[in-house]
Amino acid sequence: MSCRSKKVLDNGYVKLINVSGSDELIARAARVSRGAQWTAYSSEDNGKLINRLVDWEHYTPFEFADVVFEVKCPIYIARQWMRHRTFTYMEKSGRYNYTAFDVYIPDRVIEKSKDAVEDIARSYADLVAADIHQQDVRSILPLGTYTTFWFKADLRNLLHFVNLRASLAAQPEMQDYANAIYDIVKHEFPQTIHAFEEYCLNTETITTRAQTIIQKIWKMTPNKEEEELVTEQVNETYPDLDEFAKAMLVHEVMGFLL
């Protein structure tokens, strides 16, 4: 497939519908503050400026570029996606269309859910054959059913979406969609993506507690398994934390060390 469309999961996809703006436009928007938006600058100069904007967290100029995508994904992924309220959405309505019984079930649960999904598929087909209204028939569909929607996002908020949703902390299927979006956008805004990868992507802010544990570990020559050592240091340094807080701190430190 072309760089403007990518298949995701078994029957899903992301498709770039429209692009507004460019790296040059972003650089021009940044120069408005100095009255230099119509001065001619080289592509190299624009790239250097974009690097500085990202490094200094001056993100407003990136809001002058935006993209429109069509997405086909399971409903449970769409609901995570639509938590990003800075995007604009239009979704295919189940009130006006019978939804094809097109369901994604992760391999990690498919063996235990196969019979249940087949039962729902038969019930759904029976209701459609009985000419039950679309808005009522959809009520029995599982969250793994594919839905289709368009979204519009400015580049600043799209890259924030990628940073969150392509993270290893995100659900695997969500990561697949975020990475597909990213693979397409990088062809449209190469200088912005270069700066994003240099200064933002996969960077993390860690808590003061985690920094304390990491500094103590770096001063040691551990003979134990790394996670065992981290757990030991968390218990020793913060004995008053409850077990959940300790577990979260161990997870944070391990995420940094790995």
Q: Which residue has the tokens 């077990």?
A: 243
Euclidean distance between CA atoms 213 and 237, whole angstroms:
8
Whole-angstrom CA distances from 56 to 46, 143, 162, 163 are: 15, 41, 19, 17
Q: What are phi and psi of 68, to 5 degrees?
A: -125, 130
Q: What are phi and psi of 4, to 5 degrees?
A: -95, 0
DSSP assignments along 18-44, one per residue: EEE--HHHHHHHHHGGGT-TTS---HH
Q: In DSSP terms, which residues pair with 89 in a beta bridge? A: 151
Euclidean distance between CA atoms 69 and 167, whole angstroms:
21
Euclidean distance between CA atoms 156 and 161, whole angstroms:
9
Report which secondary-structure segment, H or E, holds 88. strand 88-91
Whether 163 and 200 have beta carbons less than 8 Å apart is answered as yes
Euclidean distance between CA atoms 30 and 61, whole angstroms:
5
Q: Catalytic annotation on 79? A: no
Candidate list 4, 85, 165, 209, residue with the active-site label: 165
Euclidean distance between CA atoms 46 and 49, whole angstroms:
5
Q: In DSSP terms, which residues pair with 153 in a beta bridge? A: 67
Which are the catalytic amino acids? Answer: 165
